[in-house]
Structures are given as C-alpha cells and as structure tokens.
Chain A
Amino acid sequence: MPADPLPHPGPDAPSVHERPDERTLLATRELVVDVPQRPDGAPLNLTVNPGQCWGILGPNGAGKSTLLHTLAGLRDPRAGQIEVRGRGLPAMPRAELARHLGLVFQSHHDGFPATVLETALIGRHPYLRPWDIETAEDYALARAALAEMDLSDMESRLVDTLSGGERQRLAIATVLTQNPNLLLLDEPTSQLDLHHQVAVLNRIRAIASRDRAAVLVLHDVNLAARYCDRLLLLFPDGQACWGPTPTMLVPSALERLYNQPLSVGEIDGHPVFLPRSD
C-alpha cells in the first residue's frame, strides 16, 4: 500500500462521481472489496444507472471478478455498502436479488449431464415458486435466448459436448433467460470468435440502452472503448478510478494500468490502443 492512498490515480484520469437517485440500479458506498491477502484498495463509490454499460478493466489479479461477485452478493465486502434499487444488499432475500441482478461467471462447471435447453431454463428459477413447473412461456423465453446466441439447433445437445465458445454463449443465453435489470458479466467474450464477440456485445449494449444496465469485465481495451460508456480502472496496487469512457481513456493511465507501453491511433473515429512494439 502506498503511503498516500489517492482516491484516484492522478490528474490524468480523475474519478467522476455520480449521485445515486431513485432510478439507480446499483450503488456502492465506500466499498472495499475483500481480495484475499491484499491490503485494502481504494473505496469505490459507483452509481450504475439504467442505460449505462460499464466496463471494468485491470490486469490479472486486480480483483475484477472478486468485485463482480461482491456486487452480486456472493462475497462479503471488507467495508462499505452495496445498494440494489436503493436497498442494502444483506437485507434483500437472495431470490429477489436474482430477479434484479444476473451474473455470468468466467468459468462454468456442470456437475451432471444436462441439455442446452435445460441449462438455459435454470434462468427462470428465481421467478418460479417451489412447486411450479416451467410453463410454455418459460420455454419460449429460453428458446428465444438460445436463438439470439445462435444455439437453436443445439437445444438437446449435452452441455459437456459443447465447445468453449458455445458454452460461453450458453451462459449468456441463461442470463438472458433470467432477464434481470442489471447484468454482471465476467469476461463474456473471452472464448468467442470475432463475429460472436461483436454479436454478444451488440446484444448487451442493446439491453443496456433501455431501462437496464450492464457491468462487464473485459480484457480488450478497444472493445471496452467501443461498447462501454463508463469505465472502471482497477490498478494492481488497489487504486481505482472510474467515470465516462472518454475521460478514462487516457494513455498514461492505461499504460500504468497494464504496466505496458501503448501506441494510440484512431480508426473509423474510434480510439485504438495497441501494445507498443519497441
């Protein structure tokens, strides 16, 4: 921990705080994420409003996944509060939380053999009472989500026969079936081919443009620059800064983020960052 814990990493990328209001889907107040065996990071005051698409960038081990899990209520924070729709997280029953907030994990493990359709259908679980059986409507939602992810012709395939990219699209189809207001996605495009990367991000962007929002962990700065309107940079020393994308895409901040010199260019009006080759 540096002696002087700045709230933001420096003059080149100051954090922009937005005050939560009644539309806010998710807000954190002085949140310190509990990353094992690491000193406290900078407290986060994030406000995720409808229509926003947040990208979380940072090097390996910066705590990106841990932050997502904490926001989803799967881990306790070290300090601070998380509010979903204005209510503190511990007070909200888990089943209700799952109707507001869906999480796609980085890796998926499937205990017993299940089909693609059965896997997408578990997204309806938060909406069904214990004795309910999935209705035709639930099946229709699951099938529509599978169609969006190009998985329609794999409905009855067993999940363990899918490729890595197909499995990842199925996880996204499951969260689309769950249909929450806030989507948290942990590297949703890490195993996808170029076409499906763009298709998935376009879909997420379309969801986040209405009354809903998305928070994505990404490793590709250029995809984040193109699809996210807010960025959160998590530095390896625990510092953080966040704000509208243009204010965060500061080369010096990104170079410090990844500890990697970058070349900056512009293609089709979008800024492009590439590792410098010297």
Chain B
Amino acid sequence: MTRSFLLAAAVLLPASVLAVLAALAWGSVHIPPADLLAVFLGEGSRLHSTLVLDLRLPRALAAFAAGGLLGLAGALMQVLLRNPLADPYVLGLSGGASVGALLAMLAGLSMVSVSAAAFAGALLSTIIVFGLAHGTGSWTPTRLLLTGVVVAAGWGAMISFILAVSPTAELPGMLYWLMGDVSHARNPYPAWGVLVLVVLLALPLGRTLNVLARGPMQAAALGVAVRPVEWGIYIAASLITATAVTQVGAVGFVGLIVPHMLRLVFGNDQRVILPASALAGGILLTLADTLARTMIAPEQLPVGVITAMLGVPVFLFLLYRSR
C-alpha cells in the first residue's frame, strides 16, 4: 500500500503542477517559461501579469478543483454502490443540476443565480434518488443505482423539453453549460476548500472503504458501522458533485473514467485511489480546458467534449492492456 501510495504521489503531484503551468502558459498569447517565472517573481510585463494572474490562474484552478471533485465523487460512488459504473452522471446528480441551471438561464437570471440553481438542482436530485431508493423496503446498491438511472433519464427528458421551448438566442449558452464550460468560473477558492476538506476526511476512511467494498455484511462483521459510513459517503459525494457542477457545468466522464484508470495502474486500495482520483481528475480537467481554449482559438470548445475525447481512448487502451 505504501509503495503504490508513494508511486501515485510521485507521478501525480508533479503532473498536477505541470498541468496548471501548461494552462497558464498556453492560450491566445503563448508565454514562454522564462516569462512565466518572471510574472511569479513580480517582474513580468503588464500584459503577461494580467493574463496569467487575473485570467488564466483563476480559471486553471477552478478547472483543477472541479475535476478533482468529480474524480473523487466518482471514486466514492463506485465504492458505495460496489458498482464500477456508478458516477455522478449515472446517478442523476448532474441531470438535476442541469435542469436547475437551464431553468435559471431561461428566466434570464445572472450567472451567479445559474450556479446557485445548479447547486439546488443537484441537491434536489440527491434527495429524490436517496429518498425513493430508501422507500419502504431495504436499501440496496442495486436499488439505488436503478433509481438514479431512472431519475437521470427523467432529468434528460426535462432538459430536452427546456431546450425545445427555449428562444434560439439562449440555446448556445445552454448547450455549452450542458457540455461543461469553465469560462464562467471566477472564484475557485470555495471549491478548493471543499476538495481539500473531503480528501482529508476521506484519507483516514480509506481502509474502512476497502472493507466496505467487500459487501456490507462482511464489513459489519469486521467492525464497520456500515449505515453511517454509507450515508456519509453519499452525502459527501453529492455535495462535492454539486460544488463541481456549480463551477463548470455538467462535465461528464471524469467521475467514471479517472478512478478506473487509476485502479488499473495502482491497484484498488481506496487510501491510494481516493486522493489519486482527486489529483488525476484535476489534471484531466485542467488539460482539457487548456485544449478547449486553444484548439480552435479564438473560439472555445465545451470542456466536456475534450474530457471525453481524451478520456475515452486512454481508458479503452488501459482496459485492453489490463489483465
């Protein structure tokens, strides 16, 4: 465990720094490493300072935090449901956030209100899914997953309905939000606070989650208080998903693909996978957003398109190579 933890840290921590530096250097104006260093030392030109510190840094940090939250949420949900297909998308959380955001846009509200509506939508979806899955009978992962999938389908229909009745002028903004868009993220620090807090809470829980992955009965027999732990994971995963979609819209694939890629490389110890998912999710979304800004500059692409285009081939390659 210690070896794979150190290996993951040795690979992912430098990669995280490089990803953020790349996001700072690349863009409509390319900034060479020497000039980037000068900016950080307070000696850079006015233009470079503004570009790096006021425009690119908040955006890169927002993308990193949101990617980290989504990766972590996916890893937590997969342990909770003991199902490798679980992620915030599949469970309808992103769908609820999307409906909230689109309704706010349709009402012509400001971007701040859109974010608040997205947060509210994600939480509403959490309550609906968990309440219905709880129901009158027993709570099982299969039931929760099925409820989530059906609720997600319901949100999908509502999204289509809203898009169909919206004025044409609103459609591009809505579509961008649905595919993920970091350009409105201005204040990354609350998301960073949540990310650091949840990683610090999840680290000591890692071994408990390893045991929980063997099934609730086995976990209980080994001394795990199963019900409180399961509730805690679900609430934490929901809150961090809501925080992430509030920042960057409905970005898919990160929560599903990142934990799996890491499992194929580092094994399945949650004490490694949870922090590694946060870092790798951050790296993926930061690089994806950098590409989204630069590929067809000055136009921008939705970041969700890039995460899928990067993530799917890498994931399929690792899966093909694995035992």
Partner-B contacts on A (CB < 8 A): 69, 72-74, 94-99, 102-103, 105, 108-115, 118-119, 122-123, 125-126, 128, 130-134, 158, 178
Q: A112-B263, A128-B207, A134-B1 are in contact. Are A103 and B221 (CB under 8 A)?
A: yes
Chain B 206-223 per-residue mask, 1 if CB under 8 angstroms from chain A, else 0: 011011011101101111
Least CB distance from B220 to A in Å reads: 5
Say yes or no: A130 contacts B207, CB within 8 Å.
yes
Number of interface residues of B (CB under 8 A): 30
Q: Which residues of B contact A96 (CB under 8 A)?
A: 223
Interchain nearest-CB distance for A242 vs B (Å) = 23
Known: A112-B84, A134-B1. A98 touches B223 (CB 8 A): yes
**Contacts A/B (CB < 8 Å), 18 sampled:** A69-B217, A94-B223, A98-B223, A99-B223, A103-B221, A111-B213, A111-B214, A112-B82, A112-B213, A122-B222, A123-B222, A125-B223, A126-B223, A131-B204, A133-B2, A133-B271, A134-B1, A178-B222
Given contacts A122-B210, A122-B214, A125-B207, contact A114 B221 (CB under 8 A): no
Asked if B35 lies at the interface with its beta carbon under 8 angstroms from chain A, I say no
B223 touches A114 (CB 8 A): no
Chain B's nearest CB lies how many Å from the CB of A85? Answer: 15
Q: CA A96 – CA B78 in complex, angstroms? A: 28
Give the CA-CA distance A112 to B268 in the complex, in Å: 7
A98 and B221 contact, CB distance less than 8 A? yes
In the complex, the answer to whether A97 meets B223 with C-beta atoms within 8 Å is yes
> Across the two chains, which residue of chain A brings its CB closest to B203?
A131
Chain A residues whose C-beta falls within 8 Å of the C-beta of B9 in the assembled complex: none
Contact (Cβ within 8 A) B268 A114 = yes
**Given contact pairs A111-B82, A112-B84, A130-B205, A98 touches B218 in the complex (Cβ within 8 A):** no
Do residues A98 and B268 form an inter-chain contact, with CB atoms below 8 A? no
In the bound assembly, the distance between CA atoms of A115 and B218 in angstroms comes to: 17
CA separation between A74 and B217, bound complex, in Å? Answer: 7
What are the residues of chain A within 8 A of B214 when measuring CB–CB? 108-111, 119, 122
B224 at the interface (CB under 8 A from A): yes
In the complex, chain B residues whose CB is within 8 Å of the CB of A133: 1-2, 271
Interface centre among A72, A74, A102, A134 (most CB of B within 10 A): A74
Q: Which residues of chain B have a CB within 8 Å of any CB of chain A?
A: 1-2, 78-79, 82, 84, 203-205, 207-208, 210-211, 213-215, 217-218, 220-225, 263, 267-269, 271, 323
Within the complex, which residue of B204, B210, B217 is in contact with A105, where a contact is CB–CB below 8 Å? Answer: B217
Q: How far is the CB of B65 from chain A (nearest CB, A)?
A: 25
Are A109 and B215 touching (Cβ within 8 A)?
A: yes
Interface centre among B2, B215, B222, B263 (most CB of A within 10 A): B222
- Whether A94 contacts B204 by the Cβ 8 Å rule is no
> Can you list the 9 inter-chain pairs with the closest CB atoms, starting with the nearest?
A98-B223, A130-B204, A95-B223, A111-B82, A126-B223, A111-B213, A103-B221, A112-B268, A125-B222
Closest B-chain residue to A171, C-beta based? Answer: B218
Contact partners of A113 in chain B: CB under 8 A: 263, 268
Min distance, Cβ A133 to any Cβ of chain B, angstroms = 6
B204 touches A74 (CB 8 A): no
Chain A proximity of B302: nearest CB distance (Å)? 32
B221 touches A72 (CB 8 A): yes
Q: Please name all residues of chain B whose beta carbon is closer than 8 Å to the beta carbon of A130 when the two chains form the complex.
A: 204-205, 207-208
Interface hub of B215, B223, B224, B225 (most chain A Cβ within 10 A) = B223
**A118/B217 contact (C-beta < 8 A), A94-B224, A125-B222, A130-B204 known:** no
A95 to B79, CA, bound (A): 20
Asked if residues A125 and B221 are in contact (CB atoms below 8 Å), the reply is: no
- A71 CB to nearest chain B CB (Å): 11
Chain B CB count within 10 A is highest, among A102, A111, A126, for A111
B213: nearest chain-A partner, CB-CB: A111
Q: Are B213 and A98 in contact (CB under 8 A)?
A: no
- B222 near A126 with CB under 8 A, answer yes
Nearest chain B CB to A147 CB, angstrom units: 21
CA distance A111 to B84 in the complex (A): 9
Chain B contacts of A131 at CB under 8 A? 203-204
Chain B residues, CB < 8 A from A108: 214, 218
* Residue of B whose beta carbon sits closest to that of A114: B268
Extra 7 A-B pairs, beta carbons < 8 Å, given A112-B263, A178-B222: A94-B220, A97-B223, A98-B221, A105-B218, A112-B84, A115-B267, A123-B222
